[in-house]
Amino acid sequence: MRSDDSNKLKKILEILLIFVAFFIINDIIEMAIRYFKERIALRSYMEKELDKRSSRDVSADSKSGAERRAELVEALLLKYGAKQVFTTGEEKFKLRRTYKYNGVYYRLSVSEIDGETFLIVNAADEDNYADVGIMEEVAAFSPELSDKELEREVRCLLEYEDY
């Protein structure tokens, strides 16, 4: 009789484990669905922001045109997964927004070199340096590049594709 009781207990435990596994799997599926819905909503929002920024009349001849192109590059950084982070340098030294992607901090600046305007991408991989705005120049490109060319520059910068 003991083996019958033992077999019944094993069967009950198996059934309980099946129910527990079902509920765990169900929760995981629900979390995954929620995650992907949020990612789709965020991507949709970023694409709308990108469309708004790129549809403006952008003249690369003016400083404000270059600033708008820099805003487009910042929107592209967000589109490809960079997160905006707050640094003390932004407030203290009036620096542009800082973005973090894969442990690297990025910040855009607009500079004029020999009478020509450039979008400069600065980067740092140390938290302390990035916080106070100490970054090195890693890329420079013309604000006259097309939207597709700017997007390719960002993709290459973030190593989505090779130069």
Q: Per residue in 77-124, pLDDT tens?
A: 999 999 999 888 777 777 889 999 999 999 999 988 888 899 999 999
Residues spanned by the domain of 24: 1-55
Q: Is the pTM of this model over 0.85?
A: no
**SS3 of residue 94 by DSSP:** coil
Number of domains in the chain: 2
State how far the alpha carbon of 65 is from the alpha carbons of 49, 79, 84, 95, 116, in Å: 17, 21, 22, 18, 13
Is the same domain home to 93 and 152? yes
pLDDT over 90 percentage in the chain: 54
The yes-or-no verdict on residue 62 having pLDDT over 60 is: no
Is the same domain home to 35 and 83? no
Is the same domain home to 92 and 141? yes
Q: What is the pLDDT of residue 52?
A: 60
Q: Which residue has the tokens 């970023």?
A: 46
Is the same domain home to 113 and 153? yes
**SS3 of residue 77 by DSSP:** helix
| 55, 70, 97 - which closes a domain | 55
